[in-house]
Each structure stands twice: as C-alpha cells, then as structure tokens.
Amino acid sequence: MHAKHHQLMNFLLNQNGAYVSATTLAESLNVTDRTIRNYIKEINQNCSDITIISSTLGYAIKQEQIVPHNDFVNDQEMEDALLDCRIIKYLMNKKEYTSYDEIADTFFYSPQTIRSRIQKLTMNIHALGLDVQIDTKVFKGIKMNGSEIQKRVLLESFFTSISVKKEVYKDFVVSGFNSWVDATIVEAVFRIVDMVNKEYELNLEFSMYKKMTIQLIIIIHQINHQHLVEIESEECGSLVSFKEFEVVETLQKHLCDYVNIINGEVVFLVNYLISLQLDLEEAQIEHKDTTIMSKIEAILWQVEKVYGVPTFSESRFRSNISNHIYRIIYPVSHNLLIYNPFVKEAKSQYFFSFSIASHIALLIEKEFLVEIQDSEIAYLAYHIQVILDSQSKKKIKTIILYHRGYERTKLLASKITTYFDELDVCNVEKYSLDYVFSHNYLYIGINLVAAPKGIENLILIQSAFQSSDIKKIRFYLESQNSIIEQSAIYWLQENSPEQMIYQLLRLNDQETFYPSIMKRERISYTSIGNSVAIPHPYFEKEVFKESIIIGVNKQPIVWGNEFVQLVIIYIPSSDIERNEYAFAEFFQKTKSIENVRQLVHAHSKEEFINIWNHI
C-alpha cells in the first residue's frame, strides 16, 4: 500500500472519529483534493480493516474501527515490528558483543537491513523512556545494555504494540514466542489470566490483557533460563498490603508447574501489576510507610500554597492523591512505565490540571529520585481536575448605587441577580459626589445624577432595566473573560521549540520567562495535538500578570511527539480561576484541526481575532 495511504489513515485515526475536509487532508499530505479522493477510494477497495466514510463535513474513519495507540499496520510494518521483537529477544540475553552479520544470518536478512532496523529500534527505545541502550562499537558489533526489568518491559512494549485482532491473538503469541516457550505454556498463561480476570473482576481491556499475558510469558522464559531481576527481596514486606500482592500470590500458585517465582521476581511482578493500574477493589493500603507518606503530604501542601488548590487541606482530596502517589512510587522507582492509554486526551482537555500535575511530578522526582512520565502525570491531572470541578466558582462582588428610591432599587437588585448568576450583590448604597470607589467591586449605578467619568468598574443603567441595560452588563461580564483581544500575535519562521519560544518572548520584552518556560517543557512537552502548543512558565511562588503571546510559524516544527505550527504562550495571572478559564478556552478554540487551519492561515491580527471569536 502507498506510503501516503498510511499517512492519510494515521491522520484520520488521530482525529478520534471527527470529520476532516478534503482540503485539510490535501494540505497535510501536500497533494490535491482529487488525489485525496482517489486515495480514499483505493483504501476502501484494498483494506479490509479500515473503512473511510464521507459526509458533507469531510472524511472520517468509521468510529468502531478507531483503536488506541494508532496501531494500524500493513504487512511490511508487521514484518518490521516482528523483526524488532526478534532482535530484542536475541540481544537481551547476550552478554558479549554481536556482529550485524551474525544477526543477519540468524534471521535471514541482509546486514544493511539489520543495521537500519537497529538504528530505528534505538530511536524508538529512546522515545519510550526506558533505560535500555544499544551500544555499538567498531570491530566488535552491538550489545544491549540495561537491567533485566527494563529489557523485559521493552520486549513486552514492542510486542504488544503490534495490532492483532483479538480472535487470532493467541495463535499470534504462540507463533511469536515458539522459540521461547511451548504452545501448551502459552495456553496455560491465557487460561490463568482469564481466571484471574474473572476472580478479581478486573475487567481487563484488550490492550491490558495483552500486556499481562506477554509479560508472564517473558517471566517464565527468563526465570527458567536464570535471567533474574535484581531487586532486594526485602521490598516484599512493603508490598504485602497491596491488593496486587494477593493477585501475584494467585498467579504464583497457578504457574508453579511452569516456573518458580521467587521473592525478587514476586516484587517485580507486584510492581508491574501496580503499573498497569488494575481495576482492583479495596485500593486503600494499610500500614503505609510513614516516612514516604510525610514526604508526599509535604509535596501536596507545597502545591496548595502555590496554586491555591486544596490538595492538602481537604482530607478527602489529600487521601485520594496521596494514596495514588504512594502506590506508584514503587513501580516508578524501578522505572516501570505507568500504563495509561488516554494521555493525549488528558493533556489537551485538562491542560491546566496537567500543568499542576506536572509541578507535582517534578517535586516527586526531586524527593524520591525517580522519573515521572506523562502517563503518570495524566493520572495526577485527573485528581486535580476532580478538585477543580468541585470548587464553587467565585462570583463578582457587586454594589448597587442609587440616587433615590431605596425600595425600588432593592427590587431591581433582585432582578439583576436573577438575570446574572455571576454577580454577588453585596450591598445597595446611596451615591453621593464624594463616594469612594474600590477596585474590589463592580458598581451598577441606577439613574445616577452627575455620574463620575472614567470609572472602569462602574456600569450606568436606568431603573426601567430594558434590553439595552441588560446588554451593558452582559458586555462588561464578557469583556472580563476576554483573552485574545489583548494578546500579541506574530508570524515567524523558526526551526525548533526553543527558538520559537525565545523569539516570541523577545518580541514581547518578556525574555525573563524563558528559563521558567523551558523548565516546564522539560517536565512534559506542552504540545497538545492539532498543531498547537501552549508553553507557560513553571508555576512557583511568583505573582504573574496575565499575558498572551501568539506565534504562527510558517511551517510545522517538531515539538515532542507532535508537529506544531500555532504556539500560544500564556503568562498566568495570580487568579487560579482565571488561569483555568484561559486554558479551557485555548482547548475549546483549538480542539478541531479545521479551526486551527483557519487560524494558521490568518494574515493579520484582526483576521486572527475575528476567526478566534467566531469559533
């Protein structure tokens, strides 16, 4: 199948069922609209797994065919993926250097093909964040360096990323591991996982089911060939109160005919199951390590002081987050990846929560000397979002001013609060020429005589309260939420995130924020998909004044795992609700690739703002 076909399918798969116009697809693939229509016709004729449907809105992949991880592969990609797994299996237990020719002879490929696959394999390993390296030495060959745990996780990650239909998966595993274990062992592993799934009501989704079965098969082979994990068995005592420990005991009992899972291996398997985030009841852990808990609670207290979010002071939130962090400290200490298939969604939809969670992640890394990946930050973001959703939104404190007619003004005040739920009418006061206004209130003046000029937080209306008066108040309230009008917008041609961020800050005389913004980028890239990135400073104790700097780059640049063309630098305000509103607006305005395309094609600030306000 044509390479452009796969680019087209991958692009549509990333839209999660949303329709995309032929024009947008053509621009993305650098072809004509007619070519796009021909591609779609050819894909639908030749591909049995994917169907592209059309409507007046454009094209989309049939909803039920959308699978996580963008894991559609063709025959060549399948062959390449299987070769990667064979190479990993071959290298992971080799203690000496191996030549490319030896690997090529083993798998019946040319040395050039093997060299090419290993180069790509090295890049993919780096992208996973695993502590495994393929060391290359001239005249000696190659060797895989890394701990036994990291090698096992590497093999499992690569094998389970291959897209295989559920009904043929067992046969696929038998074929993929026939050089390691007998088919009867594979059958037994599947049967045992099915039993555990039912007994503990895990409701394993297929991707998680694949990970568990493959890791057990790898464990059986590695233990039986004396390739053991190096974990202190004393850690067992810290994990006994975890529900996952009970699951491992059950697995241990049913796998005893095939492998002897000793204490160090028990520790690894418990940590591995914790990393999968299984749907286990009784997740609360008794007899927690008090030292670890005190460190976690100190982190939550520090985060609350910075953001004003009750991560510590409200016991239910403190309990939920600290319990979650306590659970994941153990697997991340062994650099086990926390399984989360919805990282991208969390990062884009809950961007403000993700930013707070990134701060927590950095503090955890410093305190426990571990590395926290985006998959775990996303879980922390869910907890933060629950807190934000639970908080009652602040209302605007309002004072009604009148010249005469106190009783009538009181009635009108009730009418105003009925129309505008955002207002909290604190008092009704009589206006005089020496009246002193405060910046802490919104003032609504009723039939005021000789009303003062230039008071920004004063709205003058008539007691009749007609539609024109309602519009005045509504316009004021909407202007308080205005984000885009005061922003600076630039059109640039940069080649990297670092260059883009620095130039935008320089053009707006805000270079002092560069170190803090780059610190935030190092925690987790701020690209959110749809060609958009929202860089912002790492939140600490500074009080910021809100500022928005927008950059449209002439061409997309690589930003983490995304391509980005629209960059929105947000310098936050000191008001946490304002920041939450701003990030929510950025997401709403850019969640459609069609809308982003329109914004990127704007040629002036006025055109950009007009498009933004009409999205």
Q: For 419-470, what is each residue's pLDDT tens digit?
A: 898 899 999 999 998 999 988 899 999 999 888 888 889 999 998 888 999 9
Residue-level pLDDT at 66: 46
- So what's the pLDDT on residue 91? 95
494 and 558 Cβ atoms separated by less than 8 Å: no
- The DSSP 8-state label assigned to residue 1 in this structure reads -
Higher-confidence residue: 428 or 7? 428
pLDDT at 331: 95
The model's pLDDT over 321-339, given as tens digits with 9 standing for 90+, comes to 999 999 999 999 999 989 9
pLDDT of amino acid 124:
86
- The whole-number pLDDT of residue 69 equals 41
Rounded to an integer, what distance in angstroms lies between the CA atom of residue 99 and that of residue 447? 90
579-604 mean pLDDT: 90
At residue 489 the predicted structure's pLDDT band, cuts being 50, 70 and 90, is very high
Look at the block and give the residue holding tokens 């050089």: 179
Q: Which residues of 198-220 are buried (b: 16+ CB within 10 A; e: fewer)?
A: eebebebeeebbbbbbbbbbbbb
Q: Do residues 585 and 610 touch, judged by C-beta distance below 8 A?
A: no
pLDDT at 315: 93
Q: What is the distance between the alpha carbons of residues 565 and 492, in angstroms, rounded to a whole number?
A: 10
What the block records as the tokens of 281 is 């009841």
Q: Is 277 helix (H, G, I), strand (E, B) or coil?
A: coil
Read off the pLDDT of each residue in 414-422 and give the average, rounded to a whole number. Answer: 88
Instruction: Provide the sign of the torsion angle of the four alpha carbons 21, 24, 28, 34, taken in this order.
Output: positive
pTM score, whole prediction: 0.74
Assigned token pair, 307: 């953001």
Q: pLDDT for 208-258, tens place per residue? A: 999 999 999 999 999 999 999 988 778 888 899 899 999 999 999 999 999
Residue 584 confidence (pLDDT):
87
- Higher-confidence residue of 24 and 28: namely 24
CB-CB contact of 608 with 489 (8 Å): yes
Tens digits of residue pLDDT in 61-86: 875 544 444 444 467 788 889 999 99
Q: Assess whether pLDDT exceeds 90 at residue 364.
A: yes
Q: Any idea what DSSP says for residue 312?
A: T
* Secondary structure (3-state) at 488: strand
d(C-alpha 559, C-alpha 542), whole Å: 27
- Taking the alpha carbons of 299, 305, 306, 311 in that order, is the dihedral positive or negative? positive
Determine the pLDDT at residue 83: 92
Q: Are 388 and 353 in contact (CB under 8 A)?
A: yes
Check whether 605 has a pLDDT greater than 50: yes
Write down the pLDDT at residue 30: 72
Q: Give me the pLDDT at residue 359, please.
A: 93
For residue 219 the two structure tokens come to 């464990």
| Confidence at residue 49, expressed as pLDDT on a 0 to 100 scale | 59
Question: Is residue 42's pLDDT more than 90?
Answer: no
Question: What was the pLDDT predicted at 120?
Answer: 87
Which pLDDT does position 71 carry in this prediction? 43
Q: Which helix (H) or strand (E) holds 566?
A: strand 562-571
Length of the chain: 615
**Phi, psi of 564, rounded to the nearest 5 degrees:** -130, 140
**Distance from C-alpha of 379 to C-alpha of 356, rounded to nearest angstrom:** 12
Tens digit of each residue's pLDDT (9 = 90 or more) over 291-318: 999 999 999 999 998 888 999 999 999 9
* Integer Cα distance of 387 and 320 in angstroms: 11
Element (H, E) at 83: helix 75-92
Q: Please list the alpha-helical segments (H only) found in 463-575.
A: 467-480, 497-507, 514-523
Average pLDDT, the chain: 88
Question: Residue 541 in contact with residue 306, Cβ under 8 Å?
Answer: yes
**Distances, alpha carbon 547 to alpha carbons 130, 222, 535, 576, in Å:** 37, 55, 12, 14
